[in-house]
Structure 1
Amino acid sequence: MPQHSPRELPEGDPFGADTLPYGVFTTADAPDRPRIGVRYGDSVLDAAAAAAAHGSAHAGLLAAPTLNPLLAAGRPVWRAVRAEVRSWLADGPFHPLSEVTLHLPFEVADYVDFYSSEHHATNVGRIFRPDGDALTPNWKHLPIGYHGRAGTVVVSGTDVVRPQGQRKAPADALPSFGPSRRLDIEAEVGFVVGTPANAPVGLADFREHVFGVCLVNDWSARDLQAWEYVPLGPFLGKSFATSASAWITPLDAFDEARTAPPERTHPLLPYLDDSAAEPGGLDLHIEVSINGETVSRPPFSAMYWTAAQQLAHMTVNGATLRTGDLYASGTVSGPEPDQLGCLLELTAGKGPWLEDGDEVTLTAWAPGPGGARIGLGEVTGRILPAHGTVTP
């Protein structure tokens, strides 16, 4: 049964009134009725029930089984609903977070993944091109990315089956087929598009189109990727699964976390030149753990290309923007050895890699008003054996 109101939040809880991320949940008594919820501490506000009880003009949007209608409604509505949600915190109704089932909160229209950490790109370049330039000539002139597979974006907590495919080590005469032997993670930050567009989206319009932020783990089969991606981009080595958080934290929650990106070392074309724009970086503190052990703390503030620049580049050729588009930052890595966002970097390409049964969890927070923390919903996934194989 829903609670009238949650217990008082402990000091420092990252899911307080300044965060209020949106998700979709079901309950044991209504497993076929997904509904929109807002996380508050370790409770979930039933947004549809609260909106109906208070006679909200936005009750219809909040009664939907996904966030997509709310996403499409635009920024003025996002801000109005967020203000209403704050006013409903005293009344509820709430459900204990531990007693609900969380679902992918929006229907993913398209998925794009970028490659925007200079530290990550440099480290990977040194591994793959030890005798050449670490960065490709275009890297500091445009945000490099690829179009991924929307249909295999899964919600946090979904098991990930080890992919199979072709792999060929340099010493092998011919490729072989089988389960990936070099399964990896990529700690990333995702941006969820609300308002669609049929024309290029300039840097100044970023806030009008991006609804919120979530954590993403872009699972990567490095052996499949290495064999297939020359001369084109990632394909089967990436498309088997991408895990996203069950909670989308509104972009407006990160106003205190805005920070200037790293200094640009190359001149930018006008559509990417953010020198006169509001600070486009975000001071997000990410933690990566495997089987409960922290292995890395990548700083998102070190990302060379910002989310606004990524969106501008993604649409500059006339590509349309749709409600529910998800685009991810690419692997987040910093300059220190304990700030690397994937096993490829953490082990200099030598492994060990993920084993069957391993569980990977990403968490993150950002600074908020008055010293508060703004939380991002965690992303967790456990590796299952490839189809047709059994765990030793």
Structure 2
Amino acid sequence: MDVAAVVHDRIVEFVRQVRAEHPSDRIYGAAVHEFYAEHGGVIYWPMIGVASEESLASVTTERFDAEALRWSPADWPWQLDPNDADDALAEAITAAATAGDDAAWERAHRRFERDVVRACTRARRTLIADDVVGREFVAVAMDEAWELVPLCLSKAQVRKHFPELDEEQQAIDRISALDRDEQVAELIGIIEAPVSPPPGSERATEWLREVGAAAAPAVRAHLTTAREKWRWAKLLGELGDSSPDVITALAAVVGNRRLGEADRAWAAAALARLDRMDLLVPLLDRLPREVAVRGLSAPYTSFRDLGVPTPLDYRPLDAALTAAPDLHEPVCERLSPGSGFCEIRPDEIASVLDGLDSRWAAVRRHALFVLADANLTDDQRGRHRTALRNAECDPDPRLRDAVAVIRRRDSP
């Protein structure tokens, strides 16, 4: 299937249609937008928007002027929705992507995005060559993070149409030229700044995660002096360094009653994620409820998926709930469907299967749900099906409800 050719044709046809309907308009751009995909699952076909200077003026408001909406394609008045053929092609792409493991899905999704990028650059050439638009026209793939935008344009076009991206890239290039310790210090400064300079707080945090454990000493040192400690405690949990200095610093935050609940809760979460939930157990009867619950549930939520991978293990949670059974209800509530479960890797499936035999409903239900979203072998799938049948008769109604949700979700 030639996805690039199909997207190219859709862009060209739609811009031609707009030109025919609005012959005097100054059409400046087309954008493929509303990208949506569920990791490991469905990949949807995006929309195409087209804008002219005149159409842009027609949608401006007191709150959002023309420049604010210039590259906000969802706000443009001219939109092309996917047709039946597009949806059928998206289904074929999804089927091919989901036929293998997560790595195969990621390759297929990345290939789909790159095909759209190629289509945008080709469509611009076609439309200019056919004198439908002027050379100032650009066609871009606009994903949510704008990561595809620069791939569609020259550096001069990025500088002209997306100056914020150009400024961000210059900052990235400058920081990349520093040695690692200088990079880490610079990134910490960006995150802590009242108004974060390029490349911004979010990108700086991602960068520190990419550095990994090597960034932990500087982040730990900053934790001790930072006024708001929660973001640095959270980041330490994501960096994967469980050295004594890091654990001591996090434990000090958890135990400091003068600190805010958010600071202490994220420090507890980081300790648990770094496999030191045992340090929380002696404190559970003295910790604020939110701090205790965040610490016990953190290694099983989507928090675990950020940064350095942490092996999934239910045994620390089993031990903690045995020591403090009154926390089972709030932990079960926190680990409810829709709360953001972690994704499990193939080498963790055996541990999750063991969780099906836990005495605690919170663990059994969590295991049922994360296994339902995993790529299982035939033997593992058989064990999961057996667990679902057993859960239909579980004395805890939450397990019975979980079975109904999973079966309903998996039904055609």
Could you say which TM-score interval applies, normalised by the shorter chain?
Answer: under 0.3
More strand by share: 1
Tell which structure's C-alpha radius of gyration is larger.
2
Whose helix fraction is larger, Structure 1's or Structure 2's? 2
State TM-score, norm by structure 1. 0.23
Q: Which has the higher contact order (CA 8 A, sep 6+)?
A: 1
State the TM-score, normalizing by the size of structure 2. 0.22
